[in-house]
Amino acid sequence: MSEEQTVSLVDVLEEDEELEEEASAVLAGSDSDHCSYPQGYVKRQALYACNTCTPQGGEAAGVCLACSYTCHEGHDLFELYTKRNFRCDCGNRKFSELQCKLHPEKDDTNSLNKYSHNFFGLYCTCRRPYPDPDDQVQDEMIQCVVCEDWLHGRHLGCAVPDCVEMQEMICESCMNQHVFLWAYAAHLAVQGPALQTKEEKGEQSEAGVPKKEEKGDEVVEPSCKRSRQEAEPSCRLKALQEAGQKTDQSGAVFWPSGWRSRLCSCSTCQVQLAGAGLSFLLDEADTVLAYENKGKSNEQRQQGHDPLMSALDNLNRVQQLEIIHGYNDMKTELKDFLQTFAAEGKVVTSDDIRQFFEQQSRKRRRADSGPFFS
C-alpha cells in the first residue's frame, strides 16, 4: 500500500465520531442505571413509552432510560427522545401487570406530567408513526420546543432553513395558542426569503425595532409618571408590539441560537409566561442543545484517558492495517444489524448489543485472521 493510501486507525475511528456523539448527547444526559423517579420532575431526560404495557386505548405513560433497559427489556418501546419536566411512570397505577424493578414505591400517577399522541407512537399533525411504513417520502422530523411534538418538515407550513440543528422551532399551533409570540417573531425569528425582501426596503434600529418618525413637538410626561417609569424596567415586548412591524402569522417559526435571552423578563412578562406555562422559555439551560452538550461532557468525563488508543500507537503499520480491516468489516455488519431495528421501530437493548459482539467473537475465532488475532 502506498504512503498516500495509508491511514491510521485513529483516522478511521474519527469517521464515526459524529454518530457516537449523537448517541452520547441523548443518552449520556440521563442515568442508565437508576430510575429517575426519586429526582421528581426532571428538567429534561430521555423518555420511552411502552406499547406492550400501555397500548393505545389506555392511559399514556412514560418511562425513564434506566427503566426502559431494566423493566421493559424486550418490550415494544417508542423512543420519545427527550421531554421536559417529566417524572417516570414505570410501575405506577397505569401499569396493571408490571412493577418497577428499580424503584417500586411510586405514587399512583404523576399529575404534572404532560402527555400527547407521541406516547402512543404517533407524531406530527398527520398523527402517523415514525418510521412510517406507508410513507416513502424522505423527510426530517423537527421538534417543537413548546408542545415537544415532532413534525414533518413538509407539514410545518413554512420553508425549513439551513443549519436547523442549531435553531429552535415553535409550531403554528403553539404560536396561535400564545399569540404574543408573533410580536417576538417579527423581530427575532429566522427570516424567510419573503421577510428578508421586505426588510431590505425598510430601516431598522439596532434593537430590531423600526425607528419612529421624529416629531417636532416633544410631549413632556408628568413628573410622577416619569419617576414610576424610571423605577420599573421597560417592557421589551410592549416596545415590540408598539413598533407595529407585521409578519406573516402562519406556519411554524424558527428561532436563532440565543433568541431566548432576548425575550422580555420584566415582572409583567414573567407573570404572563408563567400563566401560559412558558416560563422555561427564559431558561437557556432548558434547550435540547444545552442538554445534548451536557450529555457529551458527561461522556467525555467518564471516558477519560483511553488506554486502547495509547496501545494502538505502539503497533506497527501491518498490525494497525489488520485492525483497520477488521474494524471496517465489523462497522458494516453493525450498521446492517442496527438498521433492522430501525426499520421495525424497535429499541436496541444491551442484550442485543452483547449478542452481536458474541457473534463477532465466534466469527473471529473461526477465521484465520493472521498472527495478531491468533
Sequence spans of domains, the chain: 17-128, 307-365
What does residue 255 show for φ and ψ, rounded to 5 degrees? -120, 135
State mean pLDDT over 228-250.
Answer: 80
State mean pLDDT over 297-313.
Answer: 62
Confidence band (pLDDT; 50, 70, 90) for 262?
very high
d(CA 369, CA 374): 7
Closest CA to 270 of 259, 282, 258: 282
Confidence band (pLDDT; 50, 70, 90) for 193?
low
State mean pLDDT over 22-41.
Answer: 83
CB 100 within 8 A of CB 90: yes
pLDDT tens digits, 136-170: 998 999 999 999 999 999 999 999 998 888 899 99
Higher pLDDT, 346 or 109: 109
pLDDT at 60 over 70: yes
State mean pLDDT over 331-342.
Answer: 81
pTM above 0.85, yes or no: no
* SS3 of residue 39 by DSSP: helix
Closest CA to 24 of 303, 286, 258: 303
CA torsion 51→290→285→28, rounded to 10°? 50
DSSP string, 195-264: HHHHHHHS---TTSSPPPPP-SSPPPPPHHHHHHHHHSPP-HHHHHHHHT------S-EEE-TTGGGGS-
| Look-up of cell digits 409566561 | 273
d(CA 135, CA 155): 13
Taken in order 123, 289, 64, 353, is the CA torsion positive or negative? positive
How high is the pLDDT of residue 346?
77
How high is the pLDDT of residue 316?
61
pLDDT at 98 over 90: yes
Q: Most confidently modeled of 18-32, 116-130, 228-242?
A: 116-130
State mean pLDDT over 309-314.
Answer: 61
State mean pLDDT over 34-44.
Answer: 97
How high is the pLDDT of residue 302?
63
pLDDT at 220 over 70: no
